[in-house]
Amino acid sequence: MDEPQVVKIIVVGESYAGKTSLLQQYCYNEFDHNHSATIGCDFTLKWITKNGTKLKLQIWDVAGQERFQNLSKMFIRQAKGCLIMCDITNKKSLEAALSWRNVVKDIADEVPIFLIQNKTDLLQGEREEYQTEEYLTQFAQQHNFTRSYQISVKLNEKVDLIFYELVEAMIEKGVIKLEDSVIKSSFVIKNDNNDRNKAKKKECC
């Protein structure tokens, strides 16, 4: 059996934005109201198949507390994709996403970074400006996030979607290599070698 390709994804953001709940919902279809803040880092695994290529998603839940920032930077290394989580009821949580974006960019500049506003289930009545999809889209574009989404981990709304889209973005960036791409590359290399051999034979004759 072929070994799956390991894909490291990091989930960062301020404490209580819903990072741990996101991993539990995506990997185990579970939601726990009583999660405590992550200490240091933790990860869960999810196996998927994309265009015939087996992928093992290694999804890291990175602590949001300031005292763990140096430790968090260590776990960002070798990441291939990033979700930055915010609490849609807290504007400072969205503003803090810029600091996390800078940290990730300094360490893993080429990875796609999604901006995620969580807890839409808590919104009631008219939304504040920063809680609208239009504001989030403009904010994400202005600050060079790859994409942005508003989700509810509690209600399992768009949870699968953001990971599906993140994998697609990683493929587009070339940080995930699918088997058909490898086969095509090998085929081209093989043809190039044959052409060189033919050329050498012609020169010898």
In a domain, 183, yes or no: no
At residue 57, does pLDDT exceed 90?
A: yes
Provide the domain limits for residue 20: 5-177
Q: Which residues contact 41 (CB under 8 A, 6 or more apart)?
A: 60, 61, 62, 63, 71, 72, 75
In a domain, 196, yes or no: no
pLDDT at site 69: 55
At residue 201, does pLDDT exceed 80?
A: no
Q: How far is CA 183 from the centre of its chain?
A: 26
Q: What is the CATH number of the domain that holds 124?
A: 3.40.50.300
In a domain, 198, yes or no: no
Which residues share a beta bridge with 62? Answer: 41
Quick check: 17 and 87 in contact, CB under 8 A?
yes
d(CA 73, CA 94): 20
pLDDT at site 180: 60
Number of domains the chain contains: 1
1 versus 169: which is more confidently predicted?
169
Q: pTM of the full predicted structure?
A: 0.82
Q: Which residues contact 122 (CB under 8 A, 6 or more apart)?
A: 88, 89
In a domain, 125, yes or no: yes
Residue 134 corresponds to which tokens in the numbers above? 């239009």
In a domain, 194, yes or no: no
Phi-psi region of 77 (alpha: psi -120 to 50; beta: other; left: phi over 0): beta
In a domain, 123, yes or no: yes
Q: Over range 85-110, report the average pLDDT.
A: 92
In a domain, 144, yes or no: yes
The dihedrals phi and psi of 33, each to the nearest 5 degrees, come to: -70, -20
In a domain, 195, yes or no: no
d(CA 153, CA 155): 6
